[in-house]
Structure 1
Amino acid sequence: MEEQKEYKTLYHIVYLIISTLMSILLATVATLLNWGEWIVYVIAAMIVFSWYLHISRVVSNQTRMAIYTLEVAGLMLYYGSDPVSVADLPLVVIIFIFLSAINNAKTPVLILALIFPVELAYLIITGRFEAKPDTTMAMRLVLGALSIFSATAIALFHQKFQQVERDSRLNLEKQAITAREDNKIFMENISHELRTPINAVNGMSQVILKKDLDEELFNSMDSIYKAGRRLSDDISNILDYSEILTNKLQLSENDYEIMSVVNDISTGFIWYDEYDQLELAIDVKQDVPAILHGDEGKIRRILTLLLDYSMKDTTKGGLYLGVSSSPHDYGCNLNIDILNVGKSLTKDEIADIYASFNTSKNMVKGKNGLELGLVVVHGIVAKMGGFIKIDSPDNATSRIHVSFPQKVVSPRPTLVLKDAEKYKVACYFNQDKYVYPQINEIYKRIIENFKSIVGIEIYVADSLSRLKNIISSRSITHIFVAEWEYKMDPKYFETLSETYHTSIFAGKSFQLPNHSNINIFRKPIYTLSILNNLQALTPGQKDFQHSDEFENAQFNGMKALVVDDDALNLRVAREILQQLGMNVQTASSGEDAIERCNFEEFDIIFMDYMMRGMNGIECMKKIHEIRSARYKAIPIIALTANAVSGARHMFLSEGFDEFISKPIEVSRMARVIKKFYREA
């Protein structure tokens, strides 16, 4: 639309410049041939008036063009009224015919085409030709007439062709709009059809993994759960990619705690066995506000996709995820930095990645096939008004920097340690063990940032003798060592654990002897988890992981109703809610749910959206119409496999209190329930 306005303005300027030059030329001819002074004044007035109309815009574009055309036609009629100059008239007429044709103006073309024959008729009828035109003059007049006729035919054909093209383009645009709408409906349906069985696989896997299983069965169920999670992520990537291509990606903004988001992400990467040998560190800087306002779900997707992309094809080395912020008038820019040690990128690979951001025909290609992760990240970040930058400073590392604006709700610090002066920490990392020296820089970043955030004393040793010297000369309260360092002298560290709070940074497979007092601190290393370790751990607590605060939540006494027309989905939801300590009943249709609500009271309702017969929205509204104060305000949560962008906003606008997408994650469901637990 803006381009069309600029084109129209430019066209008017060009038309006025040409008509002004022609008018000045006519005034000059009139003066030289003594046609009268009055015509010079008329021409000057017409020029001034035309430019006034253009500058002031007091009338519409169409009206202005009509006035310009009439002025030009009048001047042409005057110029052609002389028997000598009439032969020159066709050239001027043709110029303005083509100018009018460019603007797709049919009426001005026809008016201009009639000027020459009208002028000839006028000269013949009035007898202005003093003598019969000679052969040369006659040929000029005939040629002029034919030229104008040809120019008019070309102009009209051009306009017709342009009209056909415009109609075709409009038709294609309508088809594209229809196709996008059809695609949206298709993606919603395919999302529902694919996520429903995945929900059953993931949900029941989570339930079974909580039971007392032998090691072989546990590992098998764990593999099923991981495969389901991976498939669910791949489907999400495809859906997001489709929405980015069709410009349907939507943001659903709310207040969120960035530390909680990062903690959930770090927890999720513990169960990837293939990354057990990677040095993974996650760091949140002190300048990041505690509570921000933005699309929390999309930010989780960005973090997950960045880590997932960076960890693929990287089995050795290290990975650093840093989250920081920079203040602005609108709040802040949230910055996410990935440093990948052990995975470099060539200039051609970086160029291919950037190319994939700008065309639907290219995607990032990895060893295991097409990668949508970075393309989706770019699409989400661009929608948020941010950017992504990728480089590879040397042949051993690569970096990804993402930045996008967020509103600040609470600027208070994200990490606070009470009585920080009481803590004195000794860390032992042997820097010589790493293949890539850049990994040392990763841990230095973590330690220095943590030290600056909470204000505790941290002493770093790069050898066992240095550690012993620190312990003997300082009043140490806590000791952190890495897995490899512990294995070099386990007896020494077991002895230390009898006096000091001692923790080991270790991978998932590492185990301590049964009698050990040392705490296992599972990778990835994360500043929040270190803080929790300092505040909460006591000697002998064997396995400290990045716990999800909702993983073991209990909502005892809370009565829930689950509504879904799929029996397997009902079973999954019932099992998960029962594990959370809730009293659960189920309904297989909207009508069944309404009937139950008329005779029983519930504290919370989980409602599937896409049910046969009465859908979830209709059922939710009818439940709120029940003549009971409880049901007018009862929280009703949309449970749906529709995970397309904007789904949450749609459900909340319809009247649902919250939205949970399938496949259901226990921690996500517990997080939602907690919002309404006190009210219940």
Structure 2
Amino acid sequence: MTESNKPQILIVDDLLENLISLESILDDFDIDIVRATSGMEALKLTMKNEFALVILDVQMPEMNGYETLELMRQRKKTRYVPVIFVSAIHQSDLHIIKGIETGAVDFIPKPVIPDVLRGKVKIFLDLYNQRVRLDHLLREMEVANMNLKIAKEKAEEATRVKSMFLANMSHEIRTPLNGVIGISRLLQKSGLNEEQQDLTNIIAKSGENLMLIINDILDFSKIESGQIQFENISFQLKEMVNNVYLLLRFKAEEKGIDFSYTIDQNVPSVLCGDPLRINQILMNLVNNAIKFTPHGKVEIRIELVDEFEQSARILFRVIDTGIGISEEGKQVLFKEFRQTESSMSRKYGGTGLGLAISKNLVNLMNGEINVISDEGKGSEFYFRLPLKKSTVEEREKELKYQLPEDIRILIAEDNLINQKVFKLSLKQLGYNSDIAQNGREAYDMHIADPYDIIFMDMQMPELDGLEATSMIREYEKENVNFPHTYIAAVTANSLTEDKNNCIDAGMNNFLSKPFSEKDLINILQEGFKVKANGYLVNYE
């Protein structure tokens, strides 16, 4: 196309009067017309310019129209340019057939009827303009796709950096917090007087509240980055709801609030899903209900919405007589880092993430969550979840193993406070343990005198937990008579990729700081169970 950006039409005829006649017929079109008086000149022009249409005479000296078109069709640039033959040779259909077979799109006999030529030219001009617009759109799409690719790469990098930052911050915060919570729990069992017990309880409670905030932030990050994973296991609904009730009952009693739960008899007793995440959502809603209810009651109601052969839809309702929510507050209720009023976080505390996390979790489980509330009249939060029915009437109870007294335990930990917490926690359970200051020392101590269970911190100087574990597994592989030890990662990192890295390195389990006594007992029991069953590591 020329600088005028108009479509170009090439007219090829050896007679000037014919060129002028054709140009006059097309005078009304907003186009640029280019002349050629021979086939050779036409070929040269087609190599320099882009034409919307070529009007080509058949009878010309040196090279006729058929020969010219054949050469045009052999070149990539002109292979698909539409060509209309205009010729006085039309006594026989053979000429027209030959023109079409050569690659022309039409054949117009002379003398040319102006309306016929204009009509046909208009069709090809419209097609050309549409192609130009389509090419323009494709170029825009290519640019947009490139920009999207760049934006995607930047977003992925930002997510990666954020995940690394959160993992590092989680480790840095959880490590000292493990010491605070661990020591406070040990003090609670050390025969303190009443005043000391109250002060220790405050320390423990504050640490646990801080841990809830950290977990909220990490959960929100996992959901954002798509790292959240759901289990699909059988669980007893009543047991799960009862656990929520037992955990929050004392909080309700402290405020003088009536707290109860009811489960409709039609609700299946055993279901399949992720009980941990359902428990998390329910805990959040009930905790909020108690927090924002100064007096009255909080009630959990579980009902059956509908039931099918292999699944059921369950309705979870949390009803309170609390402060209620304004219409404006409902608009921001499930948004992250938001509370219904700016003064809420100062008066009641919290990150403003709990409901946002709950909503995301419900949505990811193909459910729905909402609220019914009037300001000053209480609220009802509810969520519906589709859950599979379990064919298991009752979950299999895990067999508890009594650990032998002479079990050898090694703690690989470089933080002095966490060493003390860990060692004292094991001592309260009746077990002695040895300390390794880093991964290298843990490896050397284990090879010299094998341990039954190793608690391996992931971040240590000289040799970290992953490297030390890989070396131990390699040694076990090369020395078939060397006993296989149970290795549990003990780390402040809690992202999915961290857990996967531990398993890939050959670890058996994963223990997040700060851990509870129950968590520790579970690891010890599983460690002995695996050892008792002759566990062998899969090195493939």
- Which TM-score band applies after superposition, normalised by the shorter structure? 0.5 to 0.7
Shift of 1:218: 1.3
Q: What's the CA shift for 1:580? A: 1.7
**Equivalent of 1:561, from 405, 410, 432?**
410
- Could you tell me how far 1:613 is from its partner in structure 2? 4.0
Amino acid at match of 1:606: F
Tell me the residue number matched to 1:25: none
Q: Deviations over 1:382-427 (max 9, x none)?
A: 222222232238963322222334455564369xxxxxxxxxxxxx
Q: Per the alignment, in what secondary structure is the counterpart of residue 297 of structure 1?
A: helix
| Residue of structure 2 in register with 1:126 after alignment | 87
Query: 2:440 aligned to 588, 591, 600, which one?
Result: 591
Counterpart check, 1:382 vs 2:343: no
- Which residue in the other structure is 1:69 paired with? none
The answer to whether structure 1 residue 207 and structure 2 residue 186 are counterparts is yes
Quick one: which of 510, 520, 527 aligns to 1:669?
Answer: 520
Task: State the alpha-carbon separation in 2 of the partners of residues 161 and 586 from structure 1.
Answer: 63
> Paired residue for 1:397?
378
The match for 1:235 is 214
Matched, 1:656 2:472: no
Task: Give ranges in structure 1 of 5+ residues lacking alignment.
Answer: 1-82, 92-109, 415-549
* Shift, 1:237, TM fit: 0.8
Task: Find the aligned partners of 1:287 and 1:608 in 2 and give their Cα distance.
Answer: 47
Structure 2 unaligned residues grouped into runs of 5+ = 1-21, 31-46, 59-64, 66-83, 89-107, 533-540
Q: Distance in 1 between matches of 2:244 and 2:125?
A: 78
Shift of 1:141: 11
Q: Distance in 1 between matches of 2:365 and 2:184?
A: 35
Relative to total residues, which structure has the larger helix share, 1 or 2? 1
Size of the alignment, in residue pairs? 441
The 2-side partners of 1:586 and 1:212 are apart by 27
2:490 is equivalent to residue 639 of structure 1: yes
TM normalised by structure 1 equals 0.55
Q: Deviations over 1:531-561 (max 9, x none)?
A: xxxxxxxxxxxxxxxxxxx9xx995724322
Aligned counterpart, 1:102: none
Instruction: Write the letter of the residue equivalent to 1:670.
Output: I
Residue 339 in structure 1 maps to residue 190 in structure 2: no
Structure showing greater relative contact order (alpha-carbon pairs closer than 8 Å, 6 or more residues apart)? 1
Paired position in structure 2 for 1:245: 224
Q: In structure 1, the residue corresponding to 2:380 is in which secondary structure?
A: strand
SS of corresponding position for 1:642? coil
Following superposition of structure 1 onto structure 2, how do residues 305-344 of structure 1 map, counting pairs within 5 Å? 305-323=284-302, 328-333=308-313, 335-344=315-324
Shift of 1:568: 1.9
**2:142 corresponds to which of 154, 160, 163:** 163
Work out whether residues 171 and 492 of structure 2, in 8 Å CA contact, stay in contact via their aligned partners in 1: yes
Q: Following the alignment from structure 2 to structure 1, what is the Cα–Cα distance between the partners of residues 353 and 126?
A: 59
Shift of 1:377: 0.8
Amino acid in structure 2 at the alignment position of 1:352: V
Deviations 1:96-121 (A, max 9, x none): xxxxxxxxxxxxxx9xx745234589
Change (3 A) 1:576 1:341: same
Q: Is the Cα–Cα contact under 8 Å of residues 439 and 464 in structure 2 kept in the other structure?
A: yes
Give the structure 2 partner of residue 186 of structure 1: 165
In structure 2, the partner of 1:196 is: 175
1:327–1:642 distance in 2 versus 1, CA, 3 Å: farther
- Taking the aligned partners of 2:424 and 2:293, their CA distance within structure 1 comes to 37
Distance verdict in 2 for CA 1:598–1:413, change over 3 Å: closer
1:313-462 → structure 2 map (5 Å cutoff) = 313-323=292-302, 328-333=308-313, 335-353=315-333, 356=335, 367-368=344-345, 371-392=352-373, 396-409=377-390, 411-412=392-393
| Deviates most, 655-664 or 284-293 | 284-293
Distance, in Å, in 2 between the alignment partners of 1:145 and 1:381 is: 56
- TM-score, normalising length from structure 2? 0.67
Give the SS at the match of 1:371: coil
Amino acid at match of 1:657: N
Partners of 2:180 and 2:204 within 8 A in 1: yes
Task: Report the 3-state secondary structure (helix = DSSP H, G, I; strand = E; otherwise coil) of the residue aligned with 1:169.
Answer: helix
Measured against aligned partners, the alpha-carbon deviations of 1:160-219 in whole angstroms (never above 9, x if no partner) come to 333222211221122222222222222222221221121111111111111111222211
Instruction: Determine the C-alpha separation between the residues in 1 that align with 2:462 and 2:26.
Output: 81
Answer whether contact 1:565 1:612 (CA < 8 A) is retained: yes
C-alpha spacing 1:120/1:196, structure 2 compared with 1 (3 Å): farther
State the Cα deviation string for residues 244-290 of structure 1 (Å, max 9, x = none).
23333222455555555445544433564894322222455666666
- Alpha-carbon distance change, 152 to 604 in structure 1, aligned in 2, over 3 angstroms: closer
Distance 1:150 1:233 in 2: 63
Contact 1:607–1:637 (8 Å) recurs in 2:
yes
CA distance in 1: counterparts of 2:235 and 2:446, whole angstroms: 33
Query: CA 1:296–1:361 in structure 2 vs 1: closer, same or farther (change >3 Å)?
Result: closer
Aligned-partner Cα distance in 2 for 1:228–1:250: 27
Identity over aligned pairs, percent:
22
Equivalent pair of 2:330/2:340 in contact (CA under 8 Å): no
1:322-366 superposed Cα distances (whole Å, 9 cap, x missing partner):
456675444554543212123433444334335x3xxx6966556
RMSD value, Cα: 4.6
SS at match of 1:117: strand
Structure 2 counterpart of 1:117 = 54
CA–CA separation in structure 1 for the residues paired with 2:52 and 2:361 = 60
